[in-house]
């Protein structure tokens, strides 16, 4: 198999604390990485790199692991420009806007939906995202949810069944009937096409008892739970996530001390989605409080047409540093290794032998520039599974 070395990397983020400077980022100065096939086979100081078939000189630029975006909603049609415009003119964000996207998504063809996913993925890839999770949740019928998952599965292995995004408008007068559908025939049709099950546990969506019933039913069908929790208000979502050993509790904006303690002690990752607070002008989640309590924190885009229409992980990193109390090192870790933890993956989010060769070469001497130079397109090359894709 062909081997390729990327040499003279000014600063390499490995996310292996046993390497380099001994911090969680395992930073190596003047480093090299060797790729063989789809794997990383060697990481270390540039002067010690083994001979390879090809060499690419990074010429003093930084390399970070490909971003792991562990929360997005990309199977949708249309957009919600008017809703955003109204919100920026003073109206509040409510879960109900999702219905607009449900109508547009149901009306779209498979080809339109798949082309949309491909388009946002290409956008994300150009910004360094090499792994992403995505959800259903804009179909809300048995057929439309299963179709969304089939389409998502053409683009990623990290597919999440979110039939419980909101109560379908078809069941407006019968929410209990909708929960029966989500845990019954819809789950039956969707489980073969998904790895995860999610629920929007929130006022105006699903309460704690409904969320528990939905996630438990999913687990019985082999899906693993993750939860939209405590986004718009305090509530039972985070505690439920920890109790059910969900891989991740997502949003975590309104947390009691007990919620923070639970995340600090359990292995459920707290996934923070600053694009949502940015685009809804809401209060920021307090990453510092979670980190100080010992929680594992991930950063993700939540890319969706309603509350966070960004596909940019660098943008989320910059927001997390500026407004959520994270250091640049912590934010980079959370956008890479943190996302991998939120997907319970060990093969991605790090640049060490055996990991998938997902690398981002930055037009900058250090990863800190991702926060220091917000909004600047610093991604100069991307490898995914050993293949140069940007
Ligand atoms: O994560 N919170 C629920 N789901 C999305 C919003 C989706 C929408 O508004 O269309 C979120 O923010
Ligand atoms: Fe979401």
Q: Whose CA is nearest to atom 3 of ligand 1?
A: 200
**Which of 71, 73, 91, 148 is the pocket-test mutation for ligand 1 (most atoms within 8 Å of CB)?**
73
Q: Could you tell me the residue ranges of all domains in the chain?
A: 3-66+349-388, 68-342
**Which of 77, 97, 98, 316 is the pocket-test mutation for ligand 1 (most atoms within 8 Å of CB)?**
98
C-alpha closest to that of 290 among 307, 272, 273: 272
Ligand 2 center from residue 200 Cα (angstroms): 8
Length of the chain in residues, anyone?
A: 390
Ligand 1 center from residue 332 Cα (angstroms): 24
Q: Whose CA is nearest to atom 8 of ligand 1?
A: 306
Distance from C-alpha of 253 to C-alpha of 270, rounded to nearest angstrom:
10
**Which of 165, 205, 229, 235 is the pocket-test mutation for ligand 1 (most atoms within 8 Å of CB)?**
165
C-alpha closest to that of 231 among 103, 105, 98, 117: 98
Q: Which atom of ligand 1 is nearest to the CA of 93?
A: 9
Q: Which atom of ligand 1 is nearest to the CA of 71?
A: 1
Q: Which atom of ligand 1 is nearest to the CA of 101?
A: 10
Ligand 2 center from residue 198 Cα (angstroms): 9
Kindly report the CA angle at 310 between 274 and 84, in degrees rounded to 5? 85
Taking the CA atoms of the chain, what radius of gyration do you get in angstroms? 21
Q: Please list the rounded mean pLDDT of every run of 10 residues in the chain (390 residues).
A: 97 97 97 98 98 98 99 97 95 87 98 98 98 98 98 98 97 98 98 98 97 98 98 97 98 98 97 98 97 98 98 98 98 99 98 98 98 98 97
pLDDT at res. 93: 84
Q: Whose CA is nearest to atom 6 of ligand 1?
A: 307
CATH class of 68-342: alpha beta
Q: Which atom of ligand 1 is nearest to the CA of 202?
A: 2
- Where helices occur in the chain by DSSP H, the ranges are 81-87, 98-107, 110-126, 142-153, 175-183, 185-190, 208-220, 237-243, 257-265, 274-280, 287-292, 313-323, 328-333, 339-342, 369-372
CATH class of 3-66+349-388: mainly beta
Ligand 1 center from residue 30 Cα (angstroms): 42
Give me the half-sphere count of Cα atoms (radius 13 Å) on the Cβ side of residue 63: 33
* Backbone dihedral angles phi then psi of residue 226, each to the nearest 5 degrees: -145, 155
C-alpha closest to that of 29 among 17, 47, 42, 4: 47
Distance from C-alpha of 277 to C-alpha of 233, rounded to nearest angstrom:
13
The model's pTM is: 0.98
Distance from C-alpha of 251 to C-alpha of 271, rounded to nearest angstrom:
6
Distance from C-alpha of 25 to C-alpha of 386, rounded to nearest angstrom:
21
pLDDT at res. 95: 75
Ligand 2 center from residue 291 Cα (angstroms): 22
Q: Whose CA is nearest to atom 7 of ligand 1?
A: 306
**Which of 160, 228, 233, 275 is the pocket-test mutation for ligand 1 (most atoms within 8 Å of CB)?**
228
> For ligand 1, which residues put their CB under 6 angstroms from it?
73, 97-98, 101, 200, 228, 231, 276, 302, 304-308
Q: Whose CA is nearest to atom 1 of ligand 1?
A: 302
Ligand 2 center from residue 356 Cα (angstroms): 26
Q: Whose CA is nearest to atom 12 of ligand 1?
A: 307
Q: Which atom of ligand 1 is nearest to the CA of 250?
A: 1
Q: Whose CA is nearest to atom 9 of ligand 1?
A: 306
């Amino acid at each position: 198999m062909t081997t390729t070395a990327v040499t003279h990397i000014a600063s390499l983020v490995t996310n292996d604390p046993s390497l380099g400077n001994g911090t969680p980022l395992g930073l190596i100065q003047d480093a090299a990485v060797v790729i063989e096939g789809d794997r990383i086979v060697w990481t270390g100081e540039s002067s010690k790199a083994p001979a390879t078939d090809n060499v690419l000189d990074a010429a003093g630029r930084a390399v970070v692991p490909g971003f792991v975006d562990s929360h997005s909603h990309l199977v949708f049609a249309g957009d919600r420009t008017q809703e955003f415009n109204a919100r920026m003119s003073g109206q509040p964000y409510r879960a109900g806007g999702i219905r607009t996207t449900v109508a547009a998504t149901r009306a779209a063809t498979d080809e339109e939906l798949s082309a949309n996913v491909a388009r946002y993925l290409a956008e994300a890839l150009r910004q360094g995202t090499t792994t992403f999770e995505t959800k259903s949740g804009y179909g809300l019928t048995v057929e439309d949810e299963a179709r969304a998952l089939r389409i998502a599965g053409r683009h990623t292995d990290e597919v999440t069944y979110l039939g419980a995004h909101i109560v379908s408008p078809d069941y407006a007068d019968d929410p209990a009937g909708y929960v029966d559908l989500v845990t019954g025939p819809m789950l039956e049709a969707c489980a073969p096409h998904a790895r995860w099950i999610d629920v929007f546990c929130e006022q105006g969506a699903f309460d704690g008892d409904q969320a528990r019933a939905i996630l438990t039913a999913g687990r019985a069908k082999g899906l693993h739970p993750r939860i939209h929790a405590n986004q718009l208000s305090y509530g039972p979502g985070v505690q439920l996530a920890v109790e059910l050993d969900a891989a991740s509790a997502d949003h975590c904006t309104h947390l009691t001390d007990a919620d923070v303690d639970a995340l600090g002690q359990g292995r459920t990752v707290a996934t923070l989605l600053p694009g949502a607070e940015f685009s809804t002008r809401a209060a920021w989640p307090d990453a510092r409080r979670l980190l100080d309590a010992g929680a594992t924190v991930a950063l993700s885009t939540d890319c969706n047409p309603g509350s966070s229409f960004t596909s940019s992980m660098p943008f989320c990193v910059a927001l997390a540093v500026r407004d959520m109390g994270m250091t640049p090192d912590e934010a980079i870790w959370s956008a890479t290794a943190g996302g991998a933890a939120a997907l319970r993956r060990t093969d991605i989010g790090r640049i060490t032998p055996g990991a998938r060769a997902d690398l981002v070469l930055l037009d900058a001497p250090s990863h800190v520039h991702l926060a220091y130079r917000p909004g600047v397109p610093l991604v100069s090359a991307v490898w995914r599974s050993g293949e140069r894709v940007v």
